[in-house]
Structure 1
């Protein structure tokens, strides 16, 4: 993300934050594709993109909710709860396209609205959560986050298993 705090605070020097940021970048690019599909009235394309976003956010959210957020919840309980609630709302709308193109004529508008929430959510994480984690967490904490990532994998990893590069 251009101009994010992480580019200045050093967050991306940590593999866990670097991978989460790459996933954010992928999602932001997909959001742009959704907007183009919406402008073309391509609901099927939007549903496909919802599934692609969900495929990125599945492991991403797992790393955050099972690795990063529990470590920050003691110090930032309200912020973590709000982020988890946003995850739930985003997943609910994405899930409506899991089995194909939703038939509800209101779904495309609902999808676009939740993508606005997602975009703001990404900024909160990159400009708030990641820098706070950099300051607050210990090496053992980052090992715990890395263990979750090792378990769930990464949709942005290269085929050879190393991190994909932008």
Structure 2
């Protein structure tokens, strides 16, 4: 997690960074299940990673990424990040009990991807986006409240 520029103090970026930490922790559970060779535990932990990862990547793409991609300076990088989301999805689905090589590739790709966001895109967003941009990001980023219902603030306007 980036700690040098303060970007985590921006609500949506702080949320994404906290979600990254949860995803990494769940991935550790998956790694341990793979190493133990327990197919049932792999199924349960792989599903837990997916339940964290896909709402997270969707929220990034429809909110922050969408707004930032309008700037040609960031568009290609964001396209790469979106492609990495798809690659992570595909690779996660292939992880099986005992397949430590695939597990390693997934975890390495995930950590590199998170590093690009936490230490690259998020600090850049803190600098590049202005108040109106952040209002749009906030309004278009899906999120859930305590009741578990996912919505955007744009739904309420």
Shift of 1:70: 2.2
Q: What TM-score does the superposition give when structure 1 sets the normalisation length? A: 0.76
Alignment check: 8 A CA contact 1:67 1:148 kept: yes
Determine whether 1:26 maps to 2:18: no
Counterpart secondary structure, 1:76: helix
From 42, 46, 65, the counterpart of 2:42: 46
CA distance in 1: counterparts of 2:58 and 2:140, whole angstroms: 8
Q: Which runs of 5+ in 2 are unaligned?
A: 149-157
Task: Report matched runs for 1:1-166 at 5 Å.
Answer: 1=1, 4=2, 7-73=3-69, 74-95=72-93, 109-149=101-141, 152-154=142-144, 159=146
**Equivalent pair of 2:94/2:102 in contact (CA under 8 Å):** no
Q: How far 1:93 moved relative to its partner?
A: 2.8
CA drift at 1:45 = 1.6
Shift of 1:146: 1.3
How many residue pairs end up in the alignment?
A: 146
Compute the displacement of 1:108 (Å): 5.9
Q: Provide the alpha-carbon RMSD of the alignment.
A: 2.3
Query: What residue is the counterpart of 2:155 in the other structure?
Result: none
Q: RCO (CA 8 Å, sep 6+): is it higher in 1 or 2?
A: 1
Q: Partners of 1:111 and 1:36 in 2: how far apart?
A: 10
**CA–CA distance in 2 between the matches of 1:51 and 1:140?**
37
Deviation at 1:110, TM superposition (A): 2.6
